[in-house]
Amino acid sequence: MTTIAARAREAAAHLHTARTTAPEHRKHATARARARLRIATLLALAPTAITTETDDQRTTELNTALILSAADPADPGAVYRFSILDPRFHDDTLHLLRPCPACGGEVPVREVRTVVDLADAHRPVDIPADSPLPAHLADAFADDPGHRTPCPAAP
């Protein structure tokens, strides 16, 4: 078992490597590495087990959104994908991405703050088009550009 101190050193080394070797601008590399560390910590995986990609659908002129993916090493085929709209902020909302039940587009279906929020992550998403979503997720779901048009769940 790895000690907490060793894990902290590993995280610091990961961040340092990203800052000094990534081909992108240092602030983007740092934000990307911090987001990767956040997911790695959440899932108790090594930072190198998390892949990041620029989320072109959710990126605006003000922020570079990311999609982070983690394959479950104990469950072949299980992949968790997360969206962070502005990874420069350490506490920016993290959303689990899943197919929309109405259109099949990949959209945010729940906020993730701890691993507990993933307890039923692979249960089919049940969001009928005519039923209101929880207020904290309604805007993130309905306004997400991941829906395919027309989508009855995202009027």
Binding site for Zn ion (CB under 5 A): 100, 102-103, 105, 147, 151, 153-154
What whole-number distance in Å separates Cα of residue 151 and Cα of residue 142? 9
Answer positive or negative: Cα dihedral of 78, 97, 145, 124: positive
Minimum CB separation of residue 155 from Zn ion in Å reads 10
Minimum CB separation of residue 140 from Zn ion in Å reads 13
For residue 9, the surrounding DSSP H or E stretch is helix 4-21
Of 67 and 102, which has the nearer Cβ to Zn ion? 102
**What per-residue string of b and e applies to 121-136 under the rule 16 or more CB within 10 Å gives b?**
eeeebebeeeeeeeee
Of 47 and 146, which has the nearer Cβ to Zn ion? 146
Minimum CB separation of residue 132 from Zn ion in Å reads 16
Of 105 and 108, which has the nearer Cβ to Zn ion? 105
Answer positive or negative: Cα dihedral of 22, 25, 26, 27: negative
Of 77 and 132, which has the nearer Cβ to Zn ion? 132
Minimum CB separation of residue 42 from Zn ion in Å reads 26
